[in-house]
Structure 1
Amino acid sequence: MTAPLRIGPYAIERLLGVGSFATVWLGHDETLDAYVAIKVLAENWSHDLRVRERFLDEARLLRRLEHERLIRVHTVGELPDGRPYAVLAWADGGSLRDRLAAGEIPASTALRVLGEVCAGVAVLHRHGVVHRDLTPGNVLFRSAGPDDPDAERVLIADLGLAKALAAASGLTARAGTPGYMAPEQDDPGAVVDTRADVYGLGRLGIRLLAADPVGAVPAGPDPGRHALDIRLREGVPPAVAAVLGRATAYHRADRYPDASALHDALVRAGAPAQRVFATSGRRRYRSRLVGAVVATVVAVGGVGAEPGGAGSGRPAVDTYTSGPLTVVLPEGWSATGATWAGQYGADGEPEPALIMSPRPRRWAADPRLPGAFVGLSAATAARTTPAGFLAERTHGDCLPAPVRNTRRAGVEWTVVTYRCDRGRPWIVEAAGLQPGHAALVYVQIVPPEQAAAEFVDTLLAGVRVG
């Protein structure tokens, strides 16, 4: 293959890799003295409109998500022959495939890398995207920067097969990489959701952590009824085997619901030896924690005034009612009625919710604001417990404190507090069943920075269902 001299404004240095659908070149921006990776659609696919659109979809998706755990796209262009190309950030540390080919990665490092990959995939899942092709070649490393030359970021790449969850079923072609592809991905008509990625992450974990990755096969003749026989490398906590076994369950209903849940299971399993993300000082695979995403809601009116108070732990002087929900407002807070996006009752209508904050209409978008989301769901109460619901709503980029229970105003609340290094420093998740009501009450709280220790329990005590 002859290297082009230039692609757009970039001088081409060398070939980085060749895939089924694209070729990747190392380019140099002479004006900025910076290197980039330039991904060019393969010539034999240039006239296939479906493949061409998928190539561009990847660039659009990466541009839309724009997250430090995902490979970054700078721009797109077109060659004189009409083939599109995408200019990406250069992962100067190579891929996980390269490192595995060079030799065995220390067990503790491999466990940390797996945790980082889970966190990156969790970003996709929070945005309603399933990757569908998680392999060592799609895990890249990039230097963190001159301020910390010994640190690296782990990046998720190659979203060419990625799909929005709503469109990830009914595919017309087999999609994925054998060995990492979930069983349902081999069925063109199957529903493919976040649990397909959980399977890929589990297989990636087996490759990193098993003593015999090739030998990790179903223990019986029927893969649908037998778990994988996973023997771990020396230095890997024994409980990790069960986590990887569940992640790679043949039936998707038996797996973790998403990458965040798998990450939290790895944290718990690895706790005797280390926390997957608990790092300090300069470390080659140092974690990069980011703030978690606040609950998604849709405002439907009933907006109150928005005073500029900062909030406190003192009892409120007012209440707010939205449908069946009534809350006691902390001082300086107001509220707005909302619906709980993604939660629907038996009648097909969105279930009720409200937001309260010093500025409730800005709370979800402004990490500096304290506030709370309160939602009520009969459908959720019918399918799971408060503790089970909170286990589904983990924050993959944050560290959870142990689950606690507290009884407030006749309600037994299950409470989990998350510590995040970026964005909102603390996020509290709470759920309970209101006496006399067949509905689960969910509260997500971002406390004020200087809130008293009892702020959360005081707020929970003020939640009522009429």
Structure 2
Amino acid sequence: MTAPARIGPYRIERLLGVGSFAMVWLGYDDALDSRVAIKVLAENWSHDLRVRERFLDEARLLRRLDHERLVRVHGLGELPDGRPYAVLAWADGGSLRDRLAGGPIPVPTALRLLGEVAAGVAVLHRHGVVHRDLTPGNVLFRSTAPAGDPAAGEVLIADLGLAKALAAASGLTARAGTPGYMAPEQDDPLAVVDTRADVFGLGRLGLRLLAAHPDSPHPDRPPAAVRMRDGVPARVAAVLRRATAHRPTDRHPDAAAFRVALERAVAGPGNLPAVRPSRRAHRFRVAGAALVALAAVGGVVGAEAGGEGPRRPASATYTSGPVTVALPAGWSATGATWAGQYGADGRPEPALVMSPQPRQWAADPGLPGAFVGLSASTAARTTPAGFLAERTHSDCVPAPARSTRRAGVEWTVVAYRCDRGRPLIVESAGLAPGRAALVYVQIVPPADAGADFVDTLLAGVRVR
């Protein structure tokens, strides 16, 4: 393969890799004295409009998210032959696949890496996106420390070409993923593919990092039959066993919950499930658009807008299924389903979003708003406090949890302060009176809201 001399304004130095749909070149920007990775759609797919659009969607998605845990996109271009290319930040530390090829990674480092990968996937889940192809080759590193430490550098999630928005990731989707890491439901074109498919991939990555025989992710063997390496805490094996369960309902609901469970297992019994902050968290940073697409930021549970009809104009109250809320002045609401949360009948559980502009709330960090969800399946497996413990914001600073009783509900409330994006995110959960269901409310108060805004809003949440 002959390397092009230039792609757009970039001088090409060498080929970095070739995949099924694209090739990646290392380019050099003379003006800025920096290197970039340039991903070019493969020539044999250039006339397939579906593949071309998928290629462009990946770049647009990464550009929109623009998060430090994901490979960043600097721009898009087109070759003279019409093939599109994306200019990406260069992950100069290589991939996890490269590092595993050099031999086993020490257990403490492997556990830390797995937690970092889960944190990156949690960013996608917060935005209502399922990756669907988590493999060692799609975990990259950007060097930030001297070479020699297998964990040196920032961990980046890459290759979202197979990613789908949660709202479009179910029903008649193309089979996608890598055998050994792909969730069983991804083989069924009619199955719902949601955040739990990525939890399966995280579990398989964990087996690849921590199993006694790491040459294979053991795609045909149950996790219970896989022996862990010496030094792996016994409780970690249980976390990986749950993550790789055949049935999605038996897995952790999302990447954030998986990460909390992993940290709890590493810390040992008797420890609170607090995620160990990364170097970024020490700086209390959070992405400006870190709020999930119509969903719980810390919960990585998405709400699919429009699930129960069009947006209604502002009024005193709004009802979605069994949930009725009192709307703050100037707010309206839209019905939704709670993506990633499923009842006994297999259907998404009910939710709603309210805000001055509910359909813009996820995309605009300047908007206040609230997400309200009701889940019987969650109440069957955990307590309100336990549910909130799964929905931590590792890049924000939490206040101590408090309790307040409003409208017959004993609420557990945790407020998170963040120095970028939405400055205050309030997580709250309680048991619905008279029902075996957990009601969850995430609130981003208006900047000028009084101290009683959160409690007043909670007092207006009613469940029939």
- What TM-score, normalized to structure 2? 0.75
Residue 107 of structure 1 is matched in structure 2 by 107
- The Cα shift of 1:244 comes to 0.6
- The Cα shift of 1:152 comes to 2.4
Please list the CA deviations of residues 333-363 of structure 1 after superposition, one character each: whole Å capped at 9, or x if unmatched: x673534543599xx998667569xx99999
User: Quick check: 1:112–1:276 contact (8 Å CA) kept in 2?
Assistant: no
The 10-residue stretch of structure 1 (116-125 or 22-31) with the greater mean CA deviation from structure 2? 116-125
Separation in 1 of the partners of 2:12 and 2:293? 44
One-letter amino acid of the structure 1 residue matched with residue 375 of structure 2? T
- The Cα shift of 1:293 comes to 2.2
- The Cα shift of 1:237 comes to 2.3
SS of residue paired to 2:224: coil
Residue 75 of structure 1 is matched in structure 2 by 75
- The Cα shift of 1:102 comes to 1.8
Separation in 2 of the partners of 1:65 and 1:75? 14
Gaps of 5+ in 1: 304-319
Residue 65 of structure 1 is matched in structure 2 by 65
User: Quick check: 1:295–1:373 contact (8 Å CA) kept in 2?
Assistant: no
Q: How many residues align?
A: 428
1:179–1:276 CA distance, 2 compared to 1 (3 A): farther
Residue 379 of structure 2 is matched in structure 1 by 384
SS of residue paired to 1:190: coil
The 10-residue stretch of structure 1 (431-440 or 92-101) with the greater mean CA deviation from structure 2? 431-440
Residue 135 of structure 1 is matched in structure 2 by 135
Residue 310 of structure 1 is matched in structure 2 by none
User: Quick check: 2:263–2:274 contact (8 Å CA) kept in 1?
Assistant: yes
User: Quick check: 1:58–1:160 contact (8 Å CA) kept in 2?
Assistant: yes
Please list the CA deviations of residues 290-338 of structure 1 after superposition, one character each: whole Å capped at 9, or x if unmatched: 26527838875448xxxxxxxxxxxxxxxx87675459x9xxxx67353
- The Cα shift of 1:445 comes to 4.6
- The Cα shift of 1:180 comes to 0.9
Residue 4 of structure 1 is matched in structure 2 by 4
1:209–1:456 CA distance, 2 compared to 1 (3 A): farther
One-letter amino acid of the structure 1 residue matched with residue 126 of structure 2? R
5 Å matches for 1:281-320?
A: 290=286, 293=291, 296=294, 300-302=312-314
Gaps of 5+ in 2: 296-304, 306-310
Separation in 1 of the partners of 2:173 and 2:430? 43
SS of residue paired to 1:191: coil
1:431–1:447 CA distance, 2 compared to 1 (3 A): same
One-letter amino acid of the structure 1 residue matched with residue 442 of structure 2? Q
State the percentage of identical aligned residues: 63
User: Quick check: 1:115–1:276 contact (8 Å CA) kept in 2?
Assistant: no
Please list the CA deviations of residues 247-282 of structure 1 after superposition, one character each: whole Å capped at 9, or x if unmatched: 1111222111211221121122122399885257x7
- The Cα shift of 1:207 comes to 0.9
1:415–1:390 CA distance, 2 compared to 1 (3 A): farther
1:89 aligns with 2:89: yes
Taking only aligned residues, the RMSD between alpha carbons, in angstroms, comes to: 4.5
User: Quick check: 2:286–2:396 contact (8 Å CA) kept in 1?
Assistant: no
> Which of 391, 401, 404 pairs up with 1:394?
391
1:115–1:456 CA distance, 2 compared to 1 (3 A): farther
- The Cα shift of 1:67 comes to 1.7
One-letter amino acid of the structure 2 residue matched with residue 89 of structure 1? A
Residue 278 of structure 1 is matched in structure 2 by 276
The 10-residue stretch of structure 1 (398-407 or 438-447) with the greater mean CA deviation from structure 2? 398-407
Residue 331 of structure 2 is matched in structure 1 by 336
Residue 373 of structure 1 is matched in structure 2 by 370
Separation in 2 of the partners of 1:366 and 1:390? 29
- The Cα shift of 1:372 comes to 7.1
User: Quick check: 1:263–1:396 contact (8 Å CA) kept in 2?
Assistant: no
1:381–1:191 CA distance, 2 compared to 1 (3 A): closer
Residue 198 of structure 1 is matched in structure 2 by 199
